[in-house]
Structure 1
Amino acid sequence: MQWRELRRGRALRRQNTENAYIQNHYGDDVTAAHFVLSNGGGARFKDQSHWVRAGKNAMAGLLPYLDDPKSRPVVAIDLSGSSLTCTGLENLVWLKHLEFLDLSACPHLDDWALTRLHPLGETLCHLSLARCPRITERGLACLHLLPNLLHLDVSELPAVAQQGLMCILLEDMLPNCQILGLKEAPPPPLAGSQSQPGVGSH
């Protein structure tokens, strides 16, 4: 059993390691896209309406973008349901034009990983963290580092206990953002709203 866990851990680290050769030859955007496709996700480049998705060879799907990679930066990434960890996130945080990031249903994504998103603060507008079981209030509190968010999905986060208070905090931190998923805290009862003995009795 211990051997299986060790093997699984090595595989997870390998999945989340960047490719130094691609980084040196093609830069951050192609490196990030290659990482995403290698992990079963999808990437969309600037001025492109379609997504590049994973196939048998991740690099083959990126061939049209290799001639002049700086002219077509990555603007959207879908890593939903992937084995992304904090280490793997390092492949994405240096993207200068990323606007959309779907990290929903990532079982290994935790609060520490969310602290690494701050380099994306100037461009990121859409973020999904829905159904990530390890994210808690502490991780969500770091999202003030993404002040330009317009859409945030935090649905079905079982580790967030104080959802009402967290909803209020997020709305205060991100006033221009549409927040999905957290239940707002019920308003406090109005003074005198409860029936008092003898009031209204005849």
Structure 2
Amino acid sequence: MMLIGALTCRTGLLKRQPSWDTGRSFWGWLNAVFNKVDYERIQAVGPDRAASEWLLRCGALVRYQGLDKWQQDYNALPSGPLGKYKIQSINATESCIMAKGFDYLDGLEHVEEIRLCKCMYIYDECLQRLSQTPSLQRSLLRLWIISCGNITDKGIIALHKLSNLEYLFLSDLPGIKEKEATAQTLRQSMPGLQLELDLD
């Protein structure tokens, strides 16, 4: 069941489901199930393994510290001693990650880059939660937010708490209404940030 869900999110089939309410409700419910946080699992296998399972279940990819290969198959996650594999990069393109699953990010100490592209369940709440995660405040260096239609200026401004962020790329975000003011706020609060905008 988890593999089917990951395939659904990864291939974009979710967007081609019937538009009537019953179909939408079913897929929304299924994606919410995939995002439910299992705190006992986090305790049992550690934050990086548990987060990897959540991300792949939702159709995202992860890359571990010291490895070039992106992990995309839930059933082929590497095994080893507890804590051996540390997530360094997350590519959530077209995934079904949502705010209720973001507790999985707690305790990830080595994540340097996150790509959020065409994520239909990413709202301002997600970016606020991301920016309030202490481990990510320390480790996150690069962030891409592309074609996430539910993001507004409020969510982008919340990113100023990511004090070590070096690079931020924003593109195709129709919810951003005050582009110049929002960019100015970020530049003032994050003077070392390289900010690239493609919002026209």
TM-score by length of 1: 0.80
- In the alignment of these two chains, the number of paired residues is 178
Among 48, 52, 61, the residue aligned to 2:71: 52
* Residue 170 of structure 1 pairs with residue 186 of structure 2: yes
**CA distance, structure 1, for counterparts of residue 54 and residue 88 of structure 2:** 15
* Residue 87 of structure 1 pairs with residue 106 of structure 2: no
CA deviation vs aligned residue, 1:33-61 (integer Å, no higher than 9, x gap) = 1111112221111111221113xxx1x32
- Percent identity between the aligned chains? 24
Please, which runs of 5 or more residues in structure 2 have no aligned partner? 1-19
Deviation at 1:25, TM superposition (A): 2.5
**Cα–Cα, structure 1 residues 25 and 183, in superposed 2: closer, same or farther, change >3 Å?**
closer
Quick one: which amino acid aligns to residue 90 of structure 2?
A: I
Deviation at 1:93, TM superposition (A): 3.5
Quick one: which amino acid aligns to residue 173 of structure 2?
A: L
**CA distance, structure 1, for counterparts of residue 199 and residue 114 of structure 2:** 23
- Bigger relative CO (Cα 8 Å, ≥ 6 apart): 2
* Residue 61 of structure 1 pairs with residue 76 of structure 2: yes
119-128 or 16-25: which moved more?
Answer: 16-25
Among 1, 5, 10, the residue aligned to 2:29: 10
**CA distance, structure 1, for counterparts of residue 152 and residue 186 of structure 2:** 13
Maintained 8 Å contact 1:167/1:183: no
**CA distance, structure 2, for counterparts of residue 104 and residue 82 of structure 1:** 8
**CA distance, structure 1, for counterparts of residue 49 and residue 104 of structure 2:** 10
Please, which runs of 5 or more residues in structure 1 have no aligned partner? 185-202
Alignment-derived partner of residue 107 in structure 1:
120
Aligned CA-pair RMSD: 1.9
TM-score by length of 2: 0.81
1:18-167 paired onto structure 2 within 5 Å: 18-20=37-39, 22-54=41-73, 58=74, 60-62=75-77, 64=78, 66-117=79-130, 118-119=132-133, 120-167=136-183
Deviation at 1:160, TM superposition (A): 0.6
**Cα–Cα, structure 1 residues 69 and 43, in superposed 2: closer, same or farther, change >3 Å?**
farther
Structure index of larger Rg = 1
**Cα–Cα, structure 1 residues 40 and 81, in superposed 2: closer, same or farther, change >3 Å?**
same
**Cα–Cα, structure 1 residues 183 and 39, in superposed 2: closer, same or farther, change >3 Å?**
closer
Q: Secondary structure at the match of 2:146?
A: coil
**Cα–Cα, structure 1 residues 5 and 40, in superposed 2: closer, same or farther, change >3 Å?**
closer
Deviation at 1:3, TM superposition (A): 3.2
